Structure 1
Amino acid sequence: MGDNKKKWLWISLGIVAGILVLGYIGTALYFMSHFLPNTKVNGKDFSYAKEEDVADYLKSEVKKYELKITEHAGLSDMITGKEISVEYKENGVIDKLLKEQSVFLWPAAWSGEGKGLSITASADYDEKALDAKIASLTAMTTEQVQPISSMPMFDGEKFVPGDITEGTAIDADALKKAVVEAIEGLQEQLDLGEAGCYIQPEYTKESPEVQQACDAMNAYLNASVTYEMGLDTPVVVDKTIISQWVTADENYVVTFHPELIQEWVTQFAQQYDTAGKTRQFTTPDGRATEVSGGTYGWEINETAEYETLLANIQNGETVSREPVYVEGKTAASHGAQDWGSTYAEVDLTNQKMWYVKDGEVLMSADVVTGLPKGGRSTPAGVYTILERMQNKVLRGNLRPDGTREYETLVKYWMRVTYSGVGFHDATWQSSFGGNVYTYRGSHGCINMSYSDAGKLYELIQVGDPVIMHY
Structure 2
Amino acid sequence: MEKAFQTRQDAINLKEQHIYKEPQLTSKDERITNLQNLAKEYCNAKITYKTISGNIVLDGNDLIQWLSIDEKGNYYYDEEEFKNQAKKFVKETLAPKINIAGKAKTFKGANGTRTVSGGNYGYKLKQSEEVEGLLADIKAHKKETRSPSVSGVQASYSNGGLGNTFVEIDMTKQHMWFIKNGKVVLESDCVTGLASDPDRKTPGGTYYVYFMQRNRVLRGRIQADGKPEYETPVAYWMAFNGGIGLHDATWQSSFGGDRYKTHGSHGCINLPYNVAASLYSYLKVNMPVVCYY
* Bin for the TM-score computed over the shorter chain: 0.7 to 0.9
Distance 1:246 1:410 in 2: 62
Distance 1:362 1:328 in 2: 27
Letter of the structure 1 residue corresponding to residue 136 of structure 2: A
Paired residues of 2:124 and 2:150 also in contact (CA < 8 A): yes
- Residue 108 of structure 2 is aligned to residue 282 of structure 1: yes
CA offsets per residue over residues 143-191 of structure 1, 9 Å max, x none? xxxxxxxxxxxxxxxxxx99xxxxxxxxxxxxxxxxxxxxxxxxxxxxx
Q: What secondary structure sits across from 1:370 in the alignment?
A: coil
Return the match for 1:240 from 44, 53, 61.
Answer: 61
Relative to its length, the structure with more strand (as a share) is 2
- Which one is further off, 433-442 or 294-303? 294-303
Paired residues of 1:393 and 1:410 also in contact (CA < 8 A): yes
Q: What secondary structure sits across from 1:290 in the alignment?
A: strand
Paired residues of 2:189 and 2:256 also in contact (CA < 8 A): yes
Match of 2:128 in 1: 303
| Backbone CA RMSD of aligned residues | 3.1
Q: How does 1:41-52 map to 2 (within 5 A)?
A: none
Distance 2:234 2:140 in 1: 58
Relative to its length, the structure with more helix (as a share) is 1
- If the length of structure 2 is used for normalisation, what is the TM-score? 0.76
- Residue 268 of structure 2 is aligned to residue 445 of structure 1: yes
Letter of the structure 1 residue corresponding to residue 220 of structure 2: G
Segments of structure 1 that go 5 or more residues without pairing to the other structure are: 1-160, 163-205
Count of aligned residue pairs for this structure pair: 261
- Residue 115 of structure 2 is aligned to residue 294 of structure 1: no
Q: What secondary structure sits across from 1:277 in the alignment?
A: coil
Distance 1:350 1:402 in 2: 37
Q: Which aligned runs of 4 or more in structure 1 are off by greater than 6 angstroms?
A: 210-213, 230-233
If asked which structure has higher relative contact order (CA below 8 Å, sep 6+), I would say 2
- Residue 204 of structure 2 is aligned to residue 380 of structure 1: yes
Match of 2:250 in 1: 427
Q: How does 1:277-426 map to 2 (within 5 A)?
A: 277-285=103-111, 287-313=112-138, 315-331=139-155, 333-372=156-195, 373-417=197-241, 419-426=242-249
Q: What secondary structure sits across from 1:259 in the alignment?
A: helix
Return the match for 2:96 from 267, 270, 274.
Answer: 270
Match of 1:260 in 2: 85
Match of 1:458 in 2: 281
Distance 1:298 1:327 in 2: 6
1:213 CA displacement: 8.1
Distance 2:180 2:198 in 1: 35
Distance 1:283 1:376 in 2: 26
Distance 1:416 1:233 in 2: 28
Q: What secondary structure sits across from 1:293 in the alignment?
A: coil
Letter of the structure 2 residue corresponding to residue 236 of structure 1: V
Paired residues of 1:282 and 1:288 also in contact (CA < 8 A): yes
CA offsets per residue over residues 22-75 of structure 1, 9 Å max, x none? xxxxxxxxxxxxxxxxxxxxxxxxxxxxxxxxxxxxxxxxxxxxxxxxxxxxxx
Compared CA separation, residues 257 and 327, structure 1 to 2 (3 A):
same
Paired residues of 1:226 and 1:234 also in contact (CA < 8 A): no
Distance 2:84 2:260 in 1: 51
